[in-house]
Amino acid sequence: MALSSAHKDFTLAPRASGAVSWLETWLLSGLAIALGYWLTPDDPLMVDGSFPWPVMAPLLLGMRYGFMRGLVSAVLLILALIAYHRYGNGLYPEMPASFIVGVLISGMLVGEFRDIWERRLERLDMANDYRQLRLDEFTRAHYILRISHDRLEQRVAGSDQSLRSSLVGLRNQLRRLPRGNDPLAALAEPVLSLLAQYGAFRTAGLYQVSEGLVAPAPLSAVGEVGPMSGQDLLMRMCLQRGELVSIREQLLERGEHRQHSQYQLCVPLIDTEGRILAVLAVEQMPFFAFNDRVFGLLAILAGHIADLILNDPKTLQLQDLDSQEFSKNLKRSLIDAQQHGLDASLFALEVTDSSHSDELLRLIEGSRRGLDLQLKVINQRANTCVLVLLPLTSSEGAQGYLFRLNTLLSERFGVGNTLESLQVRVSAHDLGAAKGNDALHHFLYNECALNDQQVAI
């Protein structure tokens, strides 16, 4: 194994070729016999001495090359002993049986153990090679994932892609429109761009709907859209059902969807009252984006856009939204929670009349985030009640909102002051966890002591 390997070489000794090892066996055994004859001609194999040093040849060869070379070296020593016995002129008149057995056992035993450990080390080496291969694969995959993650971070940091921020930006553009303008016509291009960010369309058009009829020309388009037919099957199903419809994936894979419709996907911009403002008709989109997750996200986004555009323009100019807008957004959050599984939370902060109630209400109003909605009403207990709607916020995020509010209270009124210590009754309702309208109805009209003239659901 090469020295530059990523793992160690576990061989017992440097390996030699078969011919070299056999040559070493013959030479080392012959050298042991010759040295013995030169040092002690009367006892060349040192059988009668204190230690038979020629036996080191089979021991070394067995340790270096294994069982077979050790056995051959031992046999060579025994053959030399037999030759001295027969032709040595009186050398070794009696055959020393213990020497023969000892030499054979020494060569074979050391060689056998050497072979056993060689096989074990080979298995360890193979396992080590396999683990090294898997480690190299894991390392390459890790670096690819790390590079992809870094690029994704740069991409996300360079663009604001969250649903919350997108809706806030669209609302701000809608507020800046002059009164009397058609909001859909004015915002058609940014609306389509916003939808295209989540759907990755190649070819799509945004068509206005008036009294159930679709305008033949798109308000805005991505790519080269074809002429729209009012009798298109997918378009008619979208208008009739008032929901997102798409071609089956099997037809899309086989390229047979054109036989049924020129579109792959139709998304209605429909508000909480069921009014269809426009239809997004997609002719081409990537197959990886053709899935339920993207469809659900487009349906949610289209519903929020329809709610924003169909609102009263005068209401959109106000900084404090009235009960009608609050109720409409509350309905939208409830629909999103029931149909699409989106989180949303609702708080009722009931402030009792005290010397610091006005300052406390101003602080609550100032704690509102970009997409949050607040409604200040007087409930049936004659207390000021601030309803705080947190769209797209889970129960954990709602607890974070309360923590931030308590932190602001501590900074304003002193350490240790919280909503509870300032006699603010906090009631919470998780729209994502509740089922149906009954739970929300009970929360508003029973727990918060409101009526249907203040908040309608």
Looking at per-residue pLDDT, the higher value among 26 and 314 belongs to 26
pLDDT at 271 over 70: yes
The answer to whether residue 164 scores a pLDDT higher than 60 is yes
397 and 262, same domain (yes or no): no
Quote the pLDDT of residue 181: 65
Kindly state whether residues 228 and 368 are assigned to the same domain. Answer: no
Task: Say if residue 277 is in the same domain as residue 323.
Answer: no
CATH number of the domain within which 279 lies: 3.30.450.40
- Mean pLDDT to the nearest integer, 58-73: 79
Query: Does the pLDDT at position 426 exceed 80?
Result: yes
**What DSSP letter does each residue of 325-342 carry, written as one string?**
HHHHHHHHHHHHHHHH--
pTM of the model: 0.47
CATH code (residue 415): 3.30.70.2880
Note whether 33 and 122 are same-domain residues: yes
Amino acid of residue 78? I
Q: According to the model, what pLDDT value does residue 1 have?
A: 39
Structural domains in the chain (count):
3
Let me know if 444 is exposed, middle or buried by CB neighbors in 10 A (0-12, 13-18, 19+).
Answer: buried
Phi, psi of 114 (to 5 degrees): -65, -40
Whether 157 is in a domain gets the answer no
| Same domain? 268 vs 388 | no
Among the candidates 133, 152, 186, a domain finishes at: 133
333/407 same-domain check? yes
Within a domain: 208: yes
Query: What's the confidence (pLDDT) of residue 317?
Result: 45
Residue 139 lies in a domain: no
Beta bridge pairs of residue 345: 390, 430
Residue 288 and residue 170 share a domain: yes
* Bridging pattern class, strands 276-284 and 245-246: unpaired
Q: What is the mean pLDDT of residues 373-398?
A: 85
| pLDDT value for 315 | 42
In a domain, 155, yes or no: no
The pLDDT, as a whole number, for residue 263 is: 86
Domain that holds residue 70: 18-133
Do 308 and 337 lie in one domain? The reply is no
Could you tell me the CA-to-CA distances from 263 to 245, 281, 283, 305 in Å, in that order? Answer: 10, 6, 4, 22
pLDDT score for 192: 87
* pLDDT above 50: residue 363: yes
Does pLDDT of 66 surpass 70?
Answer: yes
Same domain as 28, residue 118? yes
The yes-or-no verdict on residue 360 having pLDDT over 70 is: yes
Evaluate whether residue 291 is within a structural domain.
Answer: yes
One domain, residues 322 and 225? no
Boundary (domain end) residue, out of 284, 314, 344: 314
Q: What share of the chain is helix, strand, coil (3-state, %, to 5)?
A: 55, 15, 30
**Residue 371 clears pLDDT 80, i.e. is over it:** no
Residue 335 resides in a domain = yes
Q: What is the pLDDT of residue 193?
A: 85
Question: Contact, 302 vs 281, CB < 8 A?
Answer: no
Residues 69 and 117 both lie in one domain: yes
Residue 245: which residues within 8 A CB-CB, separation 6 or more? 234, 237, 238, 265, 266
Grade residue 2 by pLDDT with cuts at 50, 70 and 90.
Answer: very low
**Of the residues 117, 133, 149, the one at which a domain ends:** 133
Is 25 part of a structural domain of the chain? yes
Decide if 7 is inside a domain.
no
Q: In this structure, are 299 and 390 located in the same domain?
A: no
Convert the pLDDT of each residue in 301-334 to its tens digit. 888 888 877 764 444 443 444 576 777 778 878 8
pLDDT value at position 158?
47
Q: Which residue has the higher pLDDT, 432 or 225?
A: 225
pLDDT higher at 92 or 413:
413
If you average pLDDT over every residue of the chain, what do you get?
A: 77
- Of 76, 71, 80, 437, nearest to 272 (Cα)? 437
Given phi > 0 = left and psi -120 to 50 = alpha, else beta, which region is 223? left
Exposed, middle or buried by CB within 10 Å (0-12, 13-18, 19+), for 285? buried
